């Protein structure tokens, strides 16, 4: 039996737009099923809307085997509740495999301390936005898979399915070490370089989720609070920003989900299970296979 909820809150953090697409897709699916939702963007610090909800659906991108620090701060600033149900959905580039499996542990612990009852957790996979893109045709297939997985999660939530993961112990260690990324991100962001051809349009300052960019003399300047989300680097309309350090984190060809979704690869028709993807992308293949088994064939 499907429940309908009249007071769902979807709260999400997103840097380069993948988690935002997932959150908005949730909103559409839930509203189509007759539910009423509010949606809140997490930037930093305090929740802008502390009104009661049931359930809370929290979404975030995986950053160094964790939630971004802004998400932890947001949870810490929530009011106490009495056993409000919650779902925690992480969005990663590599999937629910080592070293990612403990990425929701910190946020679930914090929500539990605040009185939430986390009944459901799951990983969504989107095209990776850092270090290296997944090999073709995985990014395109991931975009195709998004509505399928959102549809599955929506029907799980509305029919009361509980889903709890068992993180690997080694990933708890990775996750603890990954928390150092917050400090590393502050250092990295302060050193982002502005190139000569910056037009001073202000897009980066207007879209930085951390409010870390200010326009001084028509040029952006970067503060100490960077979330390491990469939005300004990929999103600058003039491609006028580059990292001053650790350049390898940025994909040189850029990152645009709309382009990925609109450009079907030229590969011959190969079912997902037969794709040769390399060790680092086995989690992505596993994810796509799990979805194509249940619903449609995700081969090209
Ligand atoms: C600083 C940083 C760290 C990341 N760490 C991981 C990681 O540990 N595991 C992973 O699978 N993906 C990682 N990613 C990739 C993102 O989780 C993935 O691309 C996600 O879809 C980005 O979501 P967004 O577009 O909403 O920001 C990382 C990305 C960034 C920018
Ligand atoms: S978005 Fe790009 S061009 Fe516009 S102000 Fe920022 S760096 Fe300059
Ligand atoms: S400065 Fe750039 S990378 Fe850092 S939080 Fe802002 S948009 Fe993201």
pLDDT tens digits, one per residue of 135-180:
999 999 999 999 999 999 999 999 999 999 999 999 999 999 998 9
Packed helices 105-113 and 169-178: angle between N→C axes, nearest 10 degrees? 80
**208 within domain boundaries:** yes
Count CB neighbours of 122 within 10 A. 17
Sign of the dihedral defined by the CA atoms of residues 129, 135, 136, 139, in that order: negative
236 CA to centre of ligand 2 in angstroms: 5
Ligand found nearest the CA of 216: 2
Minimal-distance CA residue to ligand 1 atom 27: 15
Average pLDDT, the chain: 93
Matching residue, tokens 């350049």: 247
Residues 62 and 161 both lie in one domain: yes
| Cα distance between residue 223 and residue 200, in whole Å | 17
Residues 168 and 221 both lie in one domain: no
* 139-142 contact pairs (CB < 8 A, 24+): 139/260, 140/260, 140/261, 140/263, 140/264, 140/265, 140/300, 141/272, 141/288, 141/298, 141/300, 142/284, 142/288
pLDDT of residue 45: 66
Residues 163 and 33 both lie in one domain: yes
pLDDT of 121 > 60? The answer is yes
83 CA to centre of ligand 1 in angstroms: 30
pLDDT of 295 > 50? The answer is no
Q: Provide the pLDDT confidence category of residue 300 given band limits of 50, 70 and 90.
A: very low
The CATH number of the domain holding residue 44 is 3.40.50.360
Domain around 210: 181-257
Contact 189 CB / ligand 3 (< 6 Å):
yes
CA dihedral 249→201→21→185, nearest 10 degrees, is 30
Contact 133 CB / ligand 2 (< 6 Å):
no
Beta bridge partner(s), residue 195: none
Residue 48 or residue 231, greater confidence: 231
Q: Provide the pLDDT confidence category of residue 191 given band limits of 50, 70 and 90.
A: very high
């Amino acid at each position: 039996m499907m429940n309908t909820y009249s007071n769902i809150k979807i709260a999400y953090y997103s840097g380069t737009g993948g988690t935002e697409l997932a959150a908005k897709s949730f909103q559409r699916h839930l509203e189509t099923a007759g539910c009423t939702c509010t949606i809140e963007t997490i930037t930093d610090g305090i929740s802008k809307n502390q009104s009661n909800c049931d359930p809370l659906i929290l979404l975030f991108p995986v950053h160094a085997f964790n939630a971004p620090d802004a998400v932890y701060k947001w949870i810490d600033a929530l009011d106490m509740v009495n056993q409000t149900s919650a779902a925690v959905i992480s969005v990663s580039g590599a999937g629910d495999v080592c070293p990612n499996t403990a990425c929701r542990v910190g946020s679930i612990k914090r929500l539990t301390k605040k009185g939430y009852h986390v009944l459901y957790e799951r990983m969504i996979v989107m095209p990776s936005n850092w270090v290296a893109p997944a090999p073709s045709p995985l990014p395109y297939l991931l975009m195709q898979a998004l509505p399928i997985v959102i549809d599955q999660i929506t029907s799980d939530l509305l029919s009361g399915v509980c889903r709890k993961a068992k993180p690997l112990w080694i990933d708890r260690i990775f996750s603890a070490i990954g928390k150092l990324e917050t400090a590393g991100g502050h250092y990295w962001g302060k050193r982002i370089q502005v190139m000569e051809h910056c037009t001073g349009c202000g897009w980066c300052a207007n879209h930085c989720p951390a409010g870390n960019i200010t326009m001084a003399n028509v040029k952006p300047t970067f503060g100490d609070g960077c979330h390491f989300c990469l939005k300004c680097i990929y999103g600058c309309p003039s491609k006028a920003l580059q990292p001053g350090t650790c350049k390898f984190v940025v994909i040189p060809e850029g990152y645009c989900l709309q382009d990925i979704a609109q450009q079907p690869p030229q590969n011959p028709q190969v079912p997902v299970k037969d794709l040769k993807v390399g060790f680092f992308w086995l989690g992505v293949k596993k994810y796509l296979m799990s979805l194509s088994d249940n619903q449609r064939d995700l081969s090209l």
